[in-house]
A and B are shown apart, each in its own frame.
Chain A
């Protein structure tokens, strides 16, 4: 056993249902907690981000049209994939030096979160939508619609739970996402991509990039096909993102990187998280013969 040479994995980003390297060919060395070389992580560029948005645009309408039941089945399948490879996922978290127990706790919470949202796909509409008792002879109802493509900026910590807590409410309602994983702990997102790829989620619905936040934030801010931005950012980046968002009246929902975030908390999940990334559409349908 010990004589066999170990096969190392080349980390690749999950974009458009395929595993890609950055178009630039750039990589950054990732070292393990002891300082040893672990792998080369793709350093995605603005061009990679634009390609990912294109992939999301292709996949988005089909995903939005899936039945709520089907979306729930697929999310539950993702939980199954994660459960099966949970140990591996936890190991990838320990690269940063956190304990095995801590990493396992994060993975367990992440899987619970996936199951939580799998259950929401066919329920949030009943909680957030409404039939409105207007004074005229109309059947007036408000339904939700996904916004489209959501740009997601993950926190540096909680590389699995934090990232998923931002992605799940977006895709539960039929959005597609382009997410930038933790810059300091990118490897778990590489593994997550592999689990997404085997979860029946159509390629392109979730696109995961790795790289430097500072390089990609201006493009996240101004790309007009991103209809909303969700994530964690420091004060300076929040300002950049909001300034860019103003150009196309993009929706922005950002948590503060300078404040501690308890990703494990119950309030980090649920209908209100879904509400932040949907549009409400109200229809006035005539009542009469």
Chain B
């Protein structure tokens, strides 16, 4: 009997919603442990904290209440030069000659010490960056430690990465990381670089330097040889100095595609090796046979995790037309109960937007969505009066030409589009200059594999979203960058193959 003749049984109506009004409000559940912060953070160069040569500092604020947390050293070209020279000295003097087995033991130590200090790092991360404490506590910090554990074990097994070829570290690696996962991105960069035998000069993002500089304290506690890790805080000029310094023979960057292209141009006349982990505009594709409640949770996690400050955020929801209304209804119910507010509260789902600048960018793109004719649905939640916050936002009736369907918003804003056939879903999903990640929701294993084959994206999540693991290579196709982070593929990007 042809399958089409049999009509699928109607889906059960959505379960009734329990409305509590404000009868049972959550009690505040603030995280109160001491993050052990300093009033002032100096640069971490050659194993010590040193004042910037010009003596300049900038304030880092808590985006949840706009109060100043600490002064952060502003490194200029001379400071970066000192850091690069320290790294080069450490490379030629100690680290480059050290047997892999010994390097690995340092990385194990760092991993352990990160676990020991996990709570204070989580709180520092949330204070400085605005992400909910439950995320920094349960995701960012444990995952950062896991990256050091994973790469520690590689340090004495590098010859298995490219059988039959000679491998050698690059020497000094310059690394520039973003503000969305400050310590985790540091771990993604530093752990493989050190395991491969390189020394690093890393520039954290301007708004989130604290955990990177606290990591300097971990390096000291681990007894890591001086100069193996150097942290230079500052703004884009500092980053440019790191990337353009003649001693950094390899450059690893995570950030926007726009800045990635600037870096590629600035290095065009050099022989520097590069890896680029850039922006994304991922499609999260829901077929009509998907387990919908699970899918809705995945969609919410895909776009609202870390306030949507995620390069691989599932920011374009592609729903099969027959279930579009039901999915939208479920999503509207779901965002209504997302708790937006104090990132330090353990019940908070969405914390603060990382900076005023980012809030302005999100607001502007959301306005363009309204202006271009998409229908906006926002949670009715009350936002704190101070700090940078944005309501979880859905747009239905979005078309491919809308800016909110094409540009990376990097905020809690989901654009919903529909499709009828698998081919149309693939066509829409791939119709972007980006190609970092994608999500597929379906009950059919064979369809998962077919979609995974057809989607032009470096990471495909099936019936899940925003999952990461040190063993799992992460990185993009097309204008989402090149090179991988994690797994054996990511580690090899930190080695010269001869």
Do residues A286 and B463 form an inter-chain contact, with CB atoms below 8 A? yes
Q: A132-B471, A134-B471, A140-B469 are in contact. Are A280 and B265 (CB under 8 A)?
A: no
Nearest CB of B to A97, in Å = 32
Q: Which single residue of chain A is at the shortest CB-CB distance from B482?
A: A251
Partner of B445, one of A130, A251, A285: A285
What residues of B have a CB within 8 angstroms of the CB of A245 in the complex?
Answer: 264, 268
Q: A247-B261, A284-B461 are in contact. Are A242 and B268 (CB under 8 A)?
A: yes
What residues of A have a CB within 8 angstroms of the CB of B471 in the complex?
Answer: 132-134, 140
Contact residues of B between 429 and 484, Cβ < 8 Å to A: 433, 445, 448-449, 452, 457-464, 467, 469, 471-475, 477-482, 484
Q: How far is the CA of A239 from the CA of B265 in the complex (A)?
A: 9
Q: Which single residue of chain B is at the shortest CB-CB distance from A279?
A: B477
B65 at the interface (CB under 8 A from A): no
* Count, chain A residues at interface, CB 8 A: 35
Q: How far is the CA of A136 from the CA of B497 in the complex (A)?
A: 32
A33 at the interface (CB under 8 A from B): no
B365 at the interface (CB under 8 A from A): no
Do residues A249 and B473 form an inter-chain contact, with CB atoms below 8 A? no
Partner of A282, one of B268, B433, B459, B478: B459
B55 at the interface (CB under 8 A from A): no
B498 at the interface (CB under 8 A from A): yes
Do residues A130 and B487 form an inter-chain contact, with CB atoms below 8 A? yes
A243 at the interface (CB under 8 A from B): yes
Partner of A283, one of B165, B276, B452: B452
Task: Type the 1/0 row for B385-396, where 1 means its CB is closer than 8 Å to any CB of A.
Answer: 000000000000
B489 at the interface (CB under 8 A from A): yes
Q: How far is the CA of A272 from the CA of B163 in the complex (A)?
A: 9
Do residues A272 and B162 form an inter-chain contact, with CB atoms below 8 A? yes
Main secondary structure of the interface of A (DSSP, over half): mixed
B374 at the interface (CB under 8 A from A): no
What residues of A have a CB within 8 angstroms of the CB of B473 in the complex?
Answer: 130, 132, 142, 280, 282
Contact residues of B between 346 and 403, Cβ < 8 Å to A: none
Q: How far is the CA of A285 from the CA of B477 in the complex (A)?
A: 20
Do residues A281 and B479 form an inter-chain contact, with CB atoms below 8 A? no
A1 at the interface (CB under 8 A from B): no
Nearest CB of A to B129, in Å = 24
Q: How far is the CA of A239 from the CA of B449 in the complex (A)?
A: 40
Do residues A132 and B482 form an inter-chain contact, with CB atoms below 8 A? no
Do residues B472 and A249 form an inter-chain contact, with CB atoms below 8 A? no
Do residues B260 and A249 form an inter-chain contact, with CB atoms below 8 A? yes
Tell which of A238, A239, A281 has the most Cβ of chain B within 10 Å.
A281
Task: Type the 1/0 row for B256-268, where 1 means its CB is closer than 8 Å to any CB of A.
Answer: 0100110011011
A34 at the interface (CB under 8 A from B): no
What residues of A have a CB within 8 angstroms of the CB of B268 in the complex?
Answer: 238-239, 242-243, 245-246
Do residues B467 and A243 form an inter-chain contact, with CB atoms below 8 A? no
What residues of B have a CB within 8 angstroms of the CB of A130 in the complex?
Answer: 473, 487-489
Nearest CB of B to A233, in Å = 12
Do residues A249 and B478 form an inter-chain contact, with CB atoms below 8 A? yes
Contact residues of A between 108 and 145, Cβ < 8 Å to B: 127-128, 130, 132-136, 138, 140, 142
Q: How far is the CA of A247 from the CA of B478 in the complex (A)?
A: 11
Q: A279-B458, A281-B460, A285-B445 are in contact. Are A249 and B481 (CB under 8 A)?
A: yes
A86 at the interface (CB under 8 A from B): no
Do residues A246 and B265 form an inter-chain contact, with CB atoms below 8 A? yes
B14 at the interface (CB under 8 A from A): no
Q: How far is the CA of A286 from the CA of B441 in the complex (A)?
A: 11
Do residues B482 and A249 form an inter-chain contact, with CB atoms below 8 A? yes
What residues of A have a CB within 8 angstroms of the CB of B445 in the complex?
Answer: 285
Contact residues of B between 107 and 146, Cβ < 8 Å to A: 146
**Beyond the given A279-B477, A284-B459, A285-B452, could you list 9 further A-B residue pairs with CB under 8 A, ordered by the A residue number?**
A128-B489, A242-B267, A248-B478, A249-B257, A249-B480, A272-B497, A280-B484, A283-B448, A286-B462
